[in-house]
Amino acid sequence: MKGKFITFEGCEGSGKSTQIRLLSEKLKERGVDFIVTREPGGSDIAEQIRKIILNPQNTAMCDECEALLYAAARIQHLKEIVVPALSCGKLVICDRYVHSSLAYQGYARGLGEDYVAGVNSLALGEYAPDITLFLNISPKAAFERKHGADKDDRMEQLGLAFHEKVYKGYLAQLEKYPYMRAVECGGTKYDTADRIYKLLSDEGII
């Protein structure tokens, strides 16, 4: 594929959307041809699946169903939005991707890496990202910064102990996937944005 694929990962409130916005501003200034998208969602069908997954009333959803719905939304969004954009040479920036499933469903829900990797094999193989930026801030610090969890989001409601497991899940993945890079989030949001831009330039992504 001709374009480059950048994905952002991190715990709730880690600042992914802010950093994606700051990166987009810089790329626009430079005239780069790019799209910004997100998971779960990013296409009409995947957004419909997102509503089912995040609906706080769906408390009876079992862990396997959750993992498979994330994987279903992912493959639809991948084939409908991401792959066509990459094929015509665009840079694709995606807010969350397969490493969210490994951290949330694989580690924190306890389904295990093999199960989650199995149902996401295309996203880890043929359509693996060129680089995954993990915004490294603990869930406790992140929740304090965003003043608590969102009550309309089933996943955010799961409590700090769950999100600590997610964080550990991410840290474990850093050692395993060489394209996954931790970005330290100390200082201002502009300091973090500068770190991200430098990393992407040094790696020849932008």
Angle between helices 189-202 and 16-29 (to 10 degrees): 60
Site string for ligand TYD, 103-132 (x = CB under 6 A): -xx---------------------------
Vertex 50, ends 178 and 147: CA angle to 5°?
A: 80
Report the SS3 class of residue 136. Answer: strand
Establish if 9 lies at the interface with ligand TYD (CB under 6 A): no
Residues numbered 178-197 forming contacts with ligand TYD, rule: CB under 6 A: none
Beta strands in the chain (DSSP E): 5-9, 34-38, 91-95, 131-136, 180-184
Member of 4, 19, 20, 70 binding ligand TYD (CB under 6 A)? 70
Report in angstroms the alpha-carbon separations of 185 from 24, 189, 191, 192.
Answer: 18, 8, 8, 6
Using the contact rule CB under 6 A, the part of the chain among 19-27, 78-86, 95-103, 171-179 near ligand TYD is 95-103
Using the contact rule CB under 6 A, the part of the chain among 21-29, 93-101, 175-183, 185-193 near ligand TYD is 93-101
Residues numbered 15-54 forming contacts with ligand TYD, rule: CB under 6 A: 16, 39-40, 54
Contact 73, 53 (CB under 8 A): yes
Distance CA 141, CA 30 (A): 33
Minimum Å distance from CB 195 to ligand TYD?
20
Establish if 101 lies at the interface with ligand TYD (CB under 6 A): yes
Establish if 153 lies at the interface with ligand TYD (CB under 6 A): yes
Using the contact rule CB under 6 A, the part of the chain among 96-104, 126-134, 175-183, 188-196 near ligand TYD is 96-104
In sequence order, the β-bridge partners of residue 6 are 93, 131
| Residues that bind ligand TYD in the complex, under the rule CB under 6 A | 12, 16, 39-40, 54, 70, 95-96, 100-101, 104-105, 153, 155-156
